[in-house]
Structure 1
Amino acid sequence: MSSNVSLTLNPAFRVAPVRRRTFGAFVEHLGRCVYTGIHEPGHPSADEDGFRTDVLELTRELGVSSVRYPGGNFVSGYQWEDGVGPVEDRPARHDLAWHSTDPNTVGLDEFMAWTKKADVEPMYAVNLGTRGMAEALDVLQYANAPQGIALSDQRAANGHPEPYGISMWCLGNEMDGPWQAGHKTAEEYARLATETARLMRQENPDLELIVCGSSNSQMPTFGAWENTVLTEAYDQVDMVSAHVYYSEKDGDQASFLASADDMDHFIDSVVATADHVRAKLKRDKRIMISFDEWNIWYQHRAESRPPSGDDWPVAPVLLEDTYSAMDAVVFGNLLISLLRHSDRVASASLAQLVNVIAPIMTEPGGGAWKQTTFHPFALTSRYAVGEVLDVRLDAPSFENQRFGSSSAADAVATWDDETGTLAVFVVNRGADAPLALDADLASFGDLEVVEALTLHHEDPYATNTQAAPETVVPAANDSVRLEGGRLVGDLPAISWTLVRLARPAA
């Protein structure tokens, strides 16, 4: 027996334009993300620069808009100079963050070459852990300055005469975290980030600078950290970062299915703090959010434990979670949360892109395949266009340990008035029963269903593997149809659905 989920949509209920940067990703020198992930000379698909073209094709199919690099925890011990110049002269270094060895075969120049092939915008993070202002200015000048000074001439001598023009820069990574190299108090970080930002803006006034917010909303300093940092840095920065990872814990499936409730609260809390500082300082500018790490991550699993002792391998197997159908549904719901906050979330980065808690997996010397989470990301990136709409939703609720009571459904929609296309993204978060969709679309005029796809599996723990890469994929939902200006259909338990509609062709 199914219950109804009622949606009310109106093209006038606009949140903000869809931001392409919502569909960013993250490449860190961690595990096999870089080496045997995006870069593997000698692989059958490798191009002249050693990049796997099968991964490049999947990156483009995924619809990635921007990529954050080179970390992550890695960046707080990284010396960017190690990764430029002749490869044979580059030093190998221990990476303390992940107890690995980085050969520095891939650095800034290689990454920028890869972004052009992948057709993505770079987001670069500077090391404010073990280094500071001078090094941040150095890498900025190496990347963006026209020829005529030492560092830009060095870039040209390395074969890259034209400036890269990197716009987005992260002022460190998770500097509130005790695990971070160079961890700082809010006051210490606020001063360093502000002075670094001021120096970088003297070089490039139009940079988009991202200051570190809390590593997650469970940090004991959450809220107070943002208040202190933004009070100091407000005039020098454009965005504050947010990071979050979710997983099913201790068999609490219901709370996991409701994870987007936490993301909503996280975003609203950061916005409230940023706007408090804005009022306190009497500023017109609004600070936006860069949600530059988010994903499903099972941190308690053995694959998330780094090497130890005398073992410092290059590109070890690390954080290689295998994602289930249920993981993909929660993942799709997190994208719904990010989209509906497009008025304040200006950028987001799925962490990460390849092998490391990633939608794309590779076998060294072998094939590449799509995890379950690949599909909601690719479809949302492709079809979320125009304006994000504020969807009014009425659905039954379900009980869970973390949030008490949560709606069994969640949804967002986008409307492109120019092309007359509507995309509705909806999840059934209930574990036990289907929901009957009933959406009022009368205010859009004459529409027709172009396509309805549902990601669902009878076994919510079913996964995609190299041997069976299409176990969990979106399939046509033939129950979805229009009836007198209403969109109706069946949404299976634990499912993610995309419905595309358009004005009839003239």
Structure 2
Amino acid sequence: MTATSHTASLTLDPAFVVGPVRARTFGSFVEHLGRCVYTGIHDPGHATADADGFRGDVLELTKELGVSTVRYPGGNFVSGYRWEDGVGPVEQRPTRLDLAWHSSDPNTVGVDEFMRWAAKAEVEPMMAVNLGTRGVQEALDLLEYCNVPSGSYFSDLRRANGVEEPYRIKMWCLGNEMDGPWQIGHKTAEEYARLAAETARAMRMMDPNLELVVCGSSSSDMPTFGEWERVVLTEAYEFVDHVSAHAYYWEENGDLASFLASAVDMDHFVESVAATADAVRAAGKHTKRINISFDEWNVWYQKRAESRPPTGDDWPVAPVLLEDRYNVADAVVVGSLLISLLRHTDRVHAASLAQLVNVIAPIMTEPGGRSWRQTIFHPFALTSRFAAGEVLRIAIDSPREDTARFGEVPVLDAVATHDAETGDVTIFAVNRSVTSSVRLDADLRGFPGLRLVEAQTLSNPDHTWAATADDADSVVPVANDSAAVADGRVSAELPPVSWSVLRLARA
């Protein structure tokens, strides 16, 4: 381990609580994009495929990842999607062109298949409706198909398709990234606000217990960021529960120090959206509070060849698209972004790592072949497994280092959770330094009698190491033997470019 050149101190106290650890923070995303669905979750010829064609190896990895919710079916795809194409006898379903990703979709997997997969994966579905090429009526038709028990056209159609009981889907997204000029049916804030409000109002007339997510800006880099949220929420505030946030613009482009500090940007994004929502709340004299669904986030190398869709007359089914191969630094950043989401658990009530399989994903597959865990799989799986109880508001006293993009940032970033029932405390920490290790020193006097259960660190001298089907296990989180508890404090040495978890329990 590199000689320590920094020391960072943490102070934890059970009285200083941000909010509960929310299971929905650990959501993911399945879109009809590239190989996410076809040869990703669905591959009938695979050795592990079940009777419905779903890959058993992917189902097991999804459970190991600890995914709670899955957003479906898009994404940009949803803005041109006709959901009716994907129900009924598979052999009668049409193949449609997907303009978003210049691909073809055979509609082999549709609403009913996805819901069967979600039940097998033990995840909560999060459905998106098309407000690009469609509108209020089509959203109501889909809601009726999914949630009404019987006695109406679409509920009886579901029953005729073999599903007697309604799905009772709770969480619905009102379109996708409607501020983006790349979106089919792109709208101005005023146009979208009116449509979203009327769709939400009508959906609640059918099912008043829904949780509805209205589209926020697709990026904080959008020229209308902030103003879009203000206009949309001013119109739709009373009819929705959450506003969405999307962010993918974190990638290493030769500036590793700035990349490792990406959570600074996520912090600013969340706080800006929350401030705008609260301003609308005050201006409209509303009583409820709108919270955030950060339902698309990840590291994404958008300029790589695999992020360019096909062109011309080539409209393939399930082409290789957005298949980023993630390295150690990417995993550290994903771990740090999870720290940011937990730190804002008072306002971020749901989040979706985009996406689940093959497409900028923690899980990779070969068609008909092997599956493996990418580096980003590990911090997500361990955080979803060990974050429990309440998120603590911790004080961090850390040295700072300069970055080109964000100025001076703390070398150490961290968050802690406390389970009052068991007494367990878990610390998640990132060393952002490119060259120096940091000694973490945490004051635990507010939690007398804690012992160290385990400490794990993900790092590698070569931060560019990436997992492959042939070698997915050479670099994984390993025991950090420097961690120790003494005199009411826990300490550990964290190597540069590293993510760590320290678990403590009552003695």
Is the pair's TM-score, using the shorter chain for normalization, greater than 0.5?
yes
What's 2:322 paired with? 319
- Deviation per CA, 1:325-368, whole angstroms, max 9, x where unpaired? 00000000000000010000000000000000000000011111
What's 1:371 paired with? 374
- Which runs of structure 2 are paired with 1:177-196 in the superposition (5 Å)? 177-196=180-199
Q: Which runs of 4+ in 1 moved over 6 A?
A: none
- TM score, norm. by length of structure 2: 0.99
What's 1:264 paired with? 267
- Deviation per CA, 1:181-232, whole angstroms, max 9, x where unpaired? 0000000000000000000000000100000000000000000000000000
Contact 2:129–2:173, Cα closer than 8 Å, also in 1? yes
What's 1:208 paired with? 211
Letter in 2 for 1:374: F
How many aligned residue pairs are there? 504
What's 2:349 paired with? 346
- Aligned mates of 1:276, 1:12 — CA distance in 2: 28
What's 1:61 paired with? 64
What's 2:433 paired with? 430
Letter in 2 for 1:56: L
- Aligned mates of 1:472, 1:278 — CA distance in 2: 47
Give the gaps of 5 or more residues in structure 2: none
| SS across alignment from 1:458 | coil
Pairing 1:232–2:235 present = yes
- Aligned mates of 1:106, 1:250 — CA distance in 2: 37
Letter in 1 for 2:284: L
| SS across alignment from 1:442 | coil
What's 2:26 paired with? 23
- Aligned mates of 1:265, 1:279 — CA distance in 2: 21
Distance apart, 1:249 and its partner CA: 4.6
Contact 2:391–2:416, Cα closer than 8 Å, also in 1? yes
- Aligned mates of 1:173, 1:239 — CA distance in 2: 13
Contact 1:246–1:256, Cα closer than 8 Å, also in 2? no
- Which runs of structure 2 are paired with 1:83-162 in the superposition (5 Å)? 83-162=86-165
Pairing 1:361–2:364 present = yes
- Deviation per CA, 1:116-172, whole angstroms, max 9, x where unpaired? 000000000000000000000000000000111110000000000100000000000
Contact 2:251–2:300, Cα closer than 8 Å, also in 1? no
Contact 1:411–1:427, Cα closer than 8 Å, also in 2? yes
Letter in 2 for 1:138: D
Contact 1:90–1:105, Cα closer than 8 Å, also in 2? yes
Pairing 1:474–2:491 present = no
Aligned equivalent of 2:36, options 28, 33, 38: 33
Letter in 2 for 1:74: F
- Aligned mates of 1:440, 1:346 — CA distance in 2: 29
| SS across alignment from 2:94 | coil
Letter in 2 for 1:20: A
Letter in 2 for 1:421: D
Distance apart, 1:247 and its partner CA: 3.4
Pairing 1:250–2:223 present = no
Pairing 1:7–2:7 present = no
Distance apart, 1:401 and its partner CA: 1.2
Distance apart, 1:250 and its partner CA: 3.4
What's 1:198 paired with? 201
What's 1:169 paired with? 172
Distance apart, 1:248 and its partner CA: 3.1
- Aligned mates of 1:19, 1:34 — CA distance in 2: 27
- Aligned mates of 1:98, 1:248 — CA distance in 2: 21
What's 2:497 paired with? 494
Letter in 1 for 2:361: A
What's 2:77 paired with? 74
Letter in 2 for 1:16: G
Give the gaps of 5 or more residues in structure 1: none
- Deviation per CA, 1:412-458, whole angstroms, max 9, x where unpaired? 00000101111000000000100011100011010000010000011
Letter in 2 for 1:266: F
What's 2:295 paired with? 292
Contact 1:246–1:259, Cα closer than 8 Å, also in 2? no
- Aligned mates of 1:2, 1:493 — CA distance in 2: 10
- Aligned mates of 1:437, 1:185 — CA distance in 2: 48
Contact 1:462–1:471, Cα closer than 8 Å, also in 2? no
- TM score, norm. by length of structure 1: 0.99
Aligned equivalent of 1:278, options 281, 288, 298: 281
